[in-house]
A and B are shown apart, each in its own frame.
Chain A
């Protein structure tokens, strides 16, 4: 069953605008919430991540907002650029010693138009 739900499936934003991608999770046992960025033909690359005891994390133009009580988190891309056009995956990680499981959302295809 899908434990991380991501929306929207696709997103079109004008250059300079704000891109917002939302995710919700079901299992409260997750330990970390990373976001991955994937360009066509490439593997996903870690973009930014947040722990569940933090409400917000910002790195450059990328910000994660985390709402533990609502079990929701979102990625905001400020001043979106055409180079940000990619597929973004939210994920939830549960780790315990050597047993680790990273569960991905379905992905959001972002297109930033000039």
Chain B
């Protein structure tokens, strides 16, 4: 157990729908990062939050949004889902200052049918 908790582990939904992925960072970590990993693909950075504030954006689609709540958990909202959104979505957290020690959760596998 890495200390980063992601729910749900698996999600199957239809095209056009909206889903919410949840992440609880490791205790004490202020930064949360979201990554997308498509089949046989690398890890694409989506967005970063630090203590409730958005700090960096990567290749995140406009249909996707995220937020970090006062208790530091984060949610990634995916809307108007398309088949191509099927992927593993990982959340990672790091301590203040974001040293090299990013800790990843086990991911949420999203399947859009």
Query: Chain A: residues with CB nearer than 8 A to chain B?
Result: 32, 34, 36, 41-46, 49, 89, 93, 95, 97-107
Interface size class of chain B, counting residues whose CB lies under 8 Å from the partner chain: 20 to 34
What sequence of 0s and 1s flags, for each residue 42-82 of chain B, a beta carbon within 8 Å of any chain A beta carbon? 11010010110101101000000000000000000000000
Known A44-B90, A99-B56; contact A32-B100, beta-carbon cutoff 8 A:
yes
Inter-chain contacts of B2 with A (CB < 8 A): 43, 45
**Most chain B CB atoms below 10 A, which of A36, A43, A89, A102:** A43
Q: What is the interface of chain B mostly: helix, strand, loop, or mixed?
A: loop
- The A interface, classified by DSSP as helix, strand, loop or mixed, is strand
| Distance, CA A5 to CA B58, complexed state (A) | 18
By a CB distance below 8 angstroms, the chain A residues around B51 are 98
Q: Name the one of B4, B33, B106, B107 contacting A102, with C-beta atoms under 8 angstroms.
A: B33
